[in-house]
Structure 1
Amino acid sequence: MSWSAFVDESESNRKLDPDVYILAASIISADSCEAVRDAVRRFRLPGQRKVHWRDESEKRRRWLAEAVASLDALHLVVVRRGYVGEPSERRRRKTRERLLFELSAMGVHGMLMEGREAKQNRHDLSLVRALRARKEVPSGFRVDHAFGSEEPLLWLPDVVAGSVVAARCGDPCHLASLMPLVTICMIEA
C-alpha cells in the first residue's frame, strides 16, 4: 500500500510555550485520499478559502478536532523545543529532519507541504537532497509544495498542529479527541 503525508507547521504560543516549533503530518493511504479529501472539503464554511485553526472559534475548533478524528488518517507530530534566541528557520529545519526520518521509517513515499515563499520552499527541497545523499531518506522520497487553499488535505495537519499547541498551552480537550490517531515525537535542542 502506498502512503502520503500532508504536512503543516506551527510555532507554539510565544508567551506560554516559547521557542517551540511543531510540524504535523497527516498520513493517508493512496486508496483513501479522494474520499478523505471530499470529506474535508465540507469543513470549509461559506466564504472561507481554507480551514485555518487560528481563524476558528473555540466551538468550531472542537468540532474540527472531532471531525478530523473521524477520518481515515493517522497523524505524526514532531515538537522541537529550541533554545532561547534560536532562529525559527533552524527550529524548522531540525524538525523537518526528524519528520522526514520518521515518515521514511513508516514507509511513507512522499509528502506535500503547505507552500511558503519560493526561497523557503527551495530550502525544504535542499534539505531533502542532503538527507538523500546521507541515506537518511530513500532516494525516491518526494517532497512537493501546495497552497492550503488548493489542497484540502493540508487542513488536517493544521487542525492537528493547532490541537497540539492548545494542549501545550493548557487546553487538552481538542487533542484528546485525536490522541488515538496521533504519535508525538519530542526533540530538544
Structure 2
Amino acid sequence: MPIAYGDESFREHSEHGFYVLTGVVFEPRMLDEAHETLLSLKGRRQKLHWHGMDAAEQQRVVKKLADLEGMHIVVIGSPVPLQKQERARAMCLNQLVVELFVVELYSLGIDLLVLEGRSPDLNQRDLRTVAGARQRLLPKAAKFRVDHSPGDAQPLLWAADIVAGVCRAAHLGKTEHREMLANRVYDVEISTGCHP
C-alpha cells in the first residue's frame, strides 16, 4: 500500500508569508528505484536537502525526481505572518490529509503519511492535527494516520524536501524546476486564516 512522505518549507513575512507542505507518493513498484536513486544523489552528505545544494545539483536532482513515477500532493497556505508558522502548518496538514484521502479514493490506498520528525512536542501536535482532521473531515470509517521519521533515516523524505523547495521557489517566481515536475505535482492553495 503506498505511503506518502512529507516535508515542509515556509516563509514568514508580515504580508507575503506562505507555508508549503508536501506529500510525495511513488507507485509501489517504483519505491526501490526511488530509494536507490535518492541514495545515489546524496554523495557524502548525511541527507539530501534542497537548500544545501547548488544550482547544478538542484537541476540534476529535480531531473531524476521527474523521471520517477509518482504523484506529489502539495498544499500551499498563506498568509504566514511572523510567529504563525505552526498554525499555518496545522491548516496545511488538515488539507493534505483530505487531499491524500481523495487520492486514496482513486485506488492508491494511502492511509499513512510519514513526516520528517521534529521535536517530541511538535510531533505530538502533528498527531493531534491529523486525528482531528480524520474525525472532522473524513468519512467515519476512514483510516488515516501520521508517523514521524528522522530525516537522515528515510531517503524518501528527501524527495518531499526537494518538492517543497521547488514549490517554494516557484511561489517566489523561480518556476524552472516546478515546470520540470509539471505532471508529477498536484498543488492546492488555501488560506491559513493567520493574521498578524
TM-score normalised to the size of structure 1? 0.90
Using the TM superposition, name which of 154-163 and 136-145 deviates more.
136-145
Matches within 5 A, 1:169-188: 169-188=172-191
Identify which of 10, 32, 47 aligns with 2:30.
32
> Structure 2 CA distance, aligned partners of 1:3 and 1:62?
27
Once the two structures are TM-superposed, the CA of residue 131 in structure 1 deviates from its matched residue by 2.2
> Structure 2 CA distance, aligned partners of 1:152 and 1:92?
22
Deviations 1:56-82 (A, max 9, x none): 101111111111101122111100012
Deviations 1:109-145 (A, max 9, x none): 2111000001000011111222233352654212110
Once the two structures are TM-superposed, the CA of residue 103 in structure 1 deviates from its matched residue by 0.3
The structure richer in helix per residue is 2
- The one-letter amino acid paired with 1:64 is V
Identify which of 57, 60, 78 aligns with 1:60.
57
> Structure 2 CA distance, aligned partners of 1:28 and 1:119?
29
Unmatched 5+ residue regions in structure 1? none
- Whether the 8 Å CA contact 1:13–1:169 is kept in 2: the answer is no
Identical amino acids, percent of aligned pairs: 27
- The one-letter amino acid paired with 2:71 is L
Number of equivalent positions: 186
> Structure 2 CA distance, aligned partners of 1:69 and 1:44?
17
- Whether the 8 Å CA contact 2:113–2:147 is kept in 1: the answer is yes
Deviations 1:29-68 (A, max 9, x none): 333322221121111022x000000111011111111111
Unmatched 5+ residue regions in structure 2? 105-109
Identify which of 152, 158, 168 aligns with 2:171.
168
> Structure 1 CA distance, aligned partners of 2:55 and 2:29?
33
Secondary structure at the counterpart of residue 95 of structure 2? helix
Using the TM superposition, name which of 25-34 and 119-128 deviates more.
25-34
TM-score normalised to the size of structure 2? 0.87
Once the two structures are TM-superposed, the CA of residue 105 in structure 1 deviates from its matched residue by 1.2
- The one-letter amino acid paired with 1:104 is F
- Whether the 8 Å CA contact 1:77–1:185 is kept in 2: the answer is yes
Which residue number corresponds to residue 10 of structure 1? 9
Identify which of 40, 43, 48 aligns with 2:41.
43
